[in-house]
Amino acid sequence: MVWGWKHISADQRKDPEHLKASYRTSDELGTTMSTSTPMKRQYSELKKQYPDCLLMFRLGDFFELFNEDAKTASHVLDIVLTSRGEGVDKWPMCGVPFHAAEGYVAKLLQAGYTVAIAEQVEDPAKAKGLVKRDIVRVITPGTVLEPSMLQETANNFLVALVEHEGKVGLAAVDVSTGEFIATQFEGTMTGEKTLNELARLTPSEILIPESVSRKAEKSALENTGARLTPRNDLDFSSSSADERLREQFHVSTLEGYGLRDLKAAIGAAGAVLAYVQEVHRTNAPTLTGIRSFTVEDFMVVDSITQRNLELVRNARDGTLRGTLLSVLSATVTSMGKRKLKQWMLQPLRNPHEIEMRLDSVDELARNGLVRQGLIDSFRQLGDLERMTSRIAFGAATAKDLVTLKDTLGRLPSAKKALEDCSSQVLKTAAESIDLLSDLRATLQSAVVDDPPATIREGGMICQGYSKELDDLKASISSDKKWIASLQERERRRTGIRTLKVGYNKVFGYYIEVSHANLSMIPDDYERKQTLTGGERFITPELKEKEASVLSCEDRINELEYEIYEGLRSKVQVHTSALHRDSDAIAVVDVVAALADVAVKRRYVRPRISTSTRIKITNGRHPALEMMLGPNEFVPNSLDIGEGGTTLLIVTGPNMAGKSTYMRQAALIVLMAQMGSFVPAKDADIGLVDRIFTRVGAFDDLTARQSTFMVEMIETANILNNATEKSLVILDEIGRGTSTFDGMALAWAVAEQIVMMRTRTLFATHFHQLTEMAKLYHGVKNVHTLARESGDVIVFLHKVAEGGTDRSYGVHVAALAGVPEPVVKRAKEMLLRLERENVVELGFRADASGEALQTSLEPLTVDDPLIERILNMDLERTTPLDALTRLKDIQEEIRQRKT
Ligand code: ADP
Ligand code: MG
């Protein structure tokens, strides 16, 4: 991490006071720490500007925190709380060594704090009085650049939201990669659409206008897991935002970015930019442009569906194991890994764009040599995207320059491999790779191969790059040689054979002589330090050489730093080109990965259409088939939509493969629309605008709230938002309540879905639902096959036509060792309940399926009373007559009861 502090000067290195207290001079701190000390005044000034941040104040080799900040930090970081000063002026204090600050800052961010870094901004050696300090950076979760605080495989988005005339403006930036996007849509800040976009972007920080202080909105946004940061409303105003953005991109209008008249989007983008500029205290050099998009471009994959389909995290332990991402992640670069995740979480809806991606995957799948060549040439690439941003922000070290140089060195072979490709996506990528050969040559000649992690201590620049630097190094080396040979010379001159020449940080160079030989020292030795075993001396000549070495070292370090800064600005000029390079590499990396997986796993290219038919022949679950042994996975087919079946009711015993069957359908659709081949023998995919998935309470192990309530909220959401273009997966909804409640709800939901004509796979253990197929057009039953022999059942995992009325729960109980009499009794009860259920719900309907009437069990009792009632001629009975007869019947029944 480089926050731009000045390094300790040579003078300080020699100053024992400094090393002891880590402060440049004792008057900075003041002996009493009264408010009148300059340091304390300086601190208070800075703290006033950033009252909400933990202020880390650079003092020598430490970052110190004071007062409330110190109490908080010592608690969070588990470091000792000390204090400075006396009485009322006693300040609580704690500190961390500057070279280890990054880890501590990361912890503070994680704990929900924002950190402001106050650095020395002038050379302490040259400062008169107190060293000037200023805030060089504010570190927030959404704006970090340090690799240790970022996830390699995920973007780190900062999002801004604003509402403007019924529209939501949303902008997102990843300063670590330079990606900057904006959109607007109808809705509210916490509406469905907004939350879906947030689920896709998973930002670590969200900016909202200060005036939005409604609690409900705040908590809805905080539920996304992001830090909420209120900002001045003015930052979001479209006019000031427009100007800010134009200035940043050096353009006279934002039209070229497709942002014309998108006031809400511009407002949000402006707020993002203002914030980045403020916390980085620069004009955000990595942000060289913005991309507008519309949410309709992408298939909606909300957070619940992400979870249910186990796209990036599995349901069991939250890791990658068993996820779609783990199946597809054959990418080899960091930017490719992030891009793959983006493609997966935002599948496309435009058939043309999907076909373009599929064409490129197809090409690399067919051409194994080119594919392997690309993968090999990418394997060694550094994180070009983030490297570029660190360099642009001035947060890079010389190591970054070396990695950049190496990465640029590998571009020609990648570009060459791509030049033979004919698909549009790959050709475009090849064209946009700028080799930047001059830049590479400069870096090659300027930076040593293994520079130190610091940028203020020299050792970075090659010999031959700067004459001035070479001269300085030559002169220092002659002085050093002189010092190196001093020991030998002095031993000869004094005759003391144990005499030693040494160096120590506090005292500098010295000549050490043991007590026994003190009588032999020459006159020009000046005593410097007394040790237990001897004395240390210095000579005027050694003093002179030492001063020369130290000042020369300072000058060398300074010059190296200047050269480094020059190189850095040379790189900065190419920020846009470097971002284009890394984007091209990312795309090719993802395409190559998808092709590689397609070949290895025998996926096929899906046919994409705008019809609503989804026809999958012998589809497989991409993650499960990998976890099972070869040929253990049983493929299954599906055909829904386009005038045929829209609601598929899936029944079958537990553990027979219902959930797997439905999820694999959703995964195959999602894979197709992200541009991937799919695990099937053949697939026609009628484009899907959104995948909804709801999993019943019992299957949903992660749910913590009232599971049934959650289930119903989610179901309501589907009924309100699904369209004919959506795909809905309902997995055993209605389990969280009583049987009849649940069955009635499941039935009603299914009926509604039939009306909506939304393609739906509905697994249920309420086999009464299979009746629907008789009542409604577009409903079909399938069931998972199980073979039963005696009390043993074998799940075949094969999906077959027709419903099943068996749940095999009793068989499973027997298998599990439930005692025989209990199983027997359960079987009897099952039969009885099944009969009664029909009576209870009485699902009967006429051909139109509209009237659902209640049927009665046949009367089995012969009774003259019943005959009499049946024989009444109601046509000729007046109401009064009827009442009189009813009264008679009541009377008779009462008499017979007693
Ligand atoms: P259900 O939802 O019907 O209870 P699941 O879909 O959860 O059943 O499947 C249960 C288990 O059966 C899975 O974990 C898997 O091990 C196995 N399984 C499911 N489908 C298949 C299949 N098509 N081929 C092989 N094994 C399968
Ligand atoms: Mg299941």
Q: What are phi and psi of 587, to 5 degrees?
A: -60, -50
Please determine, for residue 826, whether its predicted confidence score (pLDDT) is greater than 90. no
Q: What pLDDT, in 10s, does the model give residues 495-516?
A: 999 999 998 877 889 999 999 9
* C-alpha 633 – ligand 1 centre gap (Å): 9
The finding on whether 808 has its CB within 6 A of some atom of ligand 1 is no
Rg (C-alpha) for the chain, rounded Å, is 38
Residue from 634, 695, 797 whose mutation best tests the ligand 1 pocket (most atoms within 8 A of CB): 797
Query: For ligand 1, atom 11, which residue shows the shortest CA distance?
Result: 655
Ligand 1 close to Cβ of residue 752 (< 6 A): no
Compute the distance between CA of residue 294 and CA of residue 348 in angstroms, rounded to an integer.
11
Arithmetic mean of pLDDT, 140-151: 90
657 close to ligand 1 (CB < 6 Angstrom): yes
Q: Measured from the CB, is residue 121 less than 6 Å from ligand 1?
A: no
Ligand 1 center from residue 359 Cα (angstroms):
33
Res. 689: pLDDT tops 60: yes
Distance CA(63)–CA(48), nearest Å, equals 18
Residue 244, ligand 1, Cβ within 6 A:
no
**Overall average pLDDT of the 209-237 stretch:** 87
What CA–CA distance (Å, rounded) separates 229 from 208? 6
Asked whether 439 lines ligand 1 (CB < 6 A), one says: no
Residue range 237-250: average pLDDT? 93
Q: Over the stretch 842-884, which tens digit does the pLDDT of each residue have?
A: 343 333 333 333 344 456 667 778 778 877 777 777 777 877 8
Span from the CA of 659 to the centroid of ligand 2 (angstroms): 4
Q: Which of 626, 628, 655 to mutate to test the pocket of ligand 1 (most atoms within 8 A of CB)?
A: 655
What is the predicted pLDDT for the residue at 821? Answer: 78
Lowest mean pLDDT of 351-355, 410-414, 857-861, name the range: 857-861
In this prediction, residues 131-151 reach a mean pLDDT of 90
In the predicted model, is pLDDT for residue 768 greater than 90? no
| Any ligand 1 atom below 6 A from CB of 823 | no
* Alpha helices in 263-367, H assignment, sequence order: 263-280, 303-308, 324-328, 334-345, 351-366
Amino acid 887 reads: K
Q: Are 579 and 388 in contact (CB under 8 A)?
A: yes
pLDDT, greater one: 804 or 750: 750
Nearest residue to 138 (alpha-carbon basis) of 300, 289, 340, 275: 275
Q: If we measure between CA atoms, which residue out of 32, 58, 62, 31 comes closest to residue 43?
A: 58
- The pick from 618, 620, 624, 649 for probing ligand 1's pocket by mutation, whose C-beta has the most ligand atoms within 8 angstroms, reads 624
- Residue count of the chain, please give it: 898
Cβ–ligand 1 contact at 633 (below 6 Å): yes
* CA nearest to 686, candidates 748, 756, 607, 751: 607
Name the token pair of 120. Answer: 């020395």
Task: Report whether residue 663 contacts ligand 1, using a CB cutoff of 6 Å.
Answer: no
Mean pLDDT on 607-626: 96
Q: What mean pLDDT is predicted for residues 527-541?
A: 90
Q: Cα-Cα-Cα-Cα dihedral of 285, 287, 288, 289, to 10°? A: -160
CA of 612 to the centre of ligand 2 (A): 26
> Quick check: CB of 764 below 6 Å from ligand 1?
no
Check pocket membership of 760 for ligand 1, CB cut-off 6 A: no
In angstroms, what is the span from residue 622 Cα to ligand 1's centroid?
13
Structure-derived torsion over alpha carbons of residues 130, 131, 137, 139, reported in degrees to the nearest 10: -60
Decide whether any atom of ligand 1 lies within 6 Å of the 634 Cβ: yes
Outline where 367-502 has alpha helix (H). Answer: 368-379, 384-392, 398-419, 424-432, 437-446, 467-484, 486-494
**Residue owning tokens 């999993």:** 695
Q: Residues 178, 198: contact at Cβ < 8 Å?
A: no
Instruction: Report percent pLDDT > 70 for the chain.
Output: 90
Residues near 293 by beta carbon (within 8 Å), at least 6 away in sequence: 181, 182, 183
Residue nearest to atom 5 of ligand 1 (CA): 657
How far does the centroid of ligand 1 lie from the alpha carbon of residue 655, in Å? 6
Taking phi over 0 as left and psi of -120 to 50 as alpha, with beta for the rest, 161 belongs to beta
Ligand 1: nearest atom to the Cα of 635: 23
Reply yes or no on whether the pLDDT at 469 is more than 90: yes
Question: Which pLDDT does position 488 carry in this prediction?
Answer: 92
Q: How confident is the model at residue 394 (pLDDT cuts 50, 70, 90)?
A: confident
For 276-310, what is each residue's pLDDT tens digit?
A: 999 988 777 888 899 999 888 899 998 889 999 99
What would the mean pLDDT of 426-443 be, rounded to a whole number? 96
Q: Is the CB of 12 under 6 A from ligand 1?
A: no
User: What is residue 577's predicted lDDT score, i.e. its pLDDT?
Assistant: 94
CA angle 542, 545, 551 (to 5 degrees): 135
- pTM check: above 0.85: no
Nearest to 655 by CA among 765, 561, 739, 735: 765
String of DSSP letters for 203-263: -SEEEEETT---HHHHHHHHTTTPEEEEE-GGGG-HHHHHHHHHHHHT-S-SGGGT-TT-H
| pLDDT at res. 842 | 38
Identify which of 94, 283, 269 has the alpha carbon closest to the alpha carbon of residue 181: 269
How far is 177 from 156, CA to CA, in rounded Å? 9
DSSP classification of residue 78: T
User: Ligand 1, residues 660, 662, 762: which to mutate, most atoms within 8 A of Cβ?
Assistant: 660
What is the average pLDDT value for the chain, to the nearest integer?
86
Q: Is the pLDDT of residue 809 over 60?
A: yes
Confidence of residue 466 (pLDDT cuts 50, 70, 90): very high
Q: Is the pLDDT of residue 104 over 90?
A: yes
Give the pair of three-digit tokens for residue 790: 């005696």
Closest-approaching ligand to the CA atom of 797: 1
Structure-model confidence comparison of residues 736 and 352, the more confident one: 352
CA of residue 708 to ligand 1 center, whole Å: 24
Lowest mean pLDDT: which of 27-41, 582-596, 802-816, 818-832?
27-41
pLDDT at 790: 67
Average pLDDT over residues 71-98: 88
Residue nearest to atom 10 of ligand 1 (CA): 655
How many whole angstroms separate alpha carbon 669 and alpha carbon 760? 13
Which of the ligands is closest to the CA of residue 799? 1
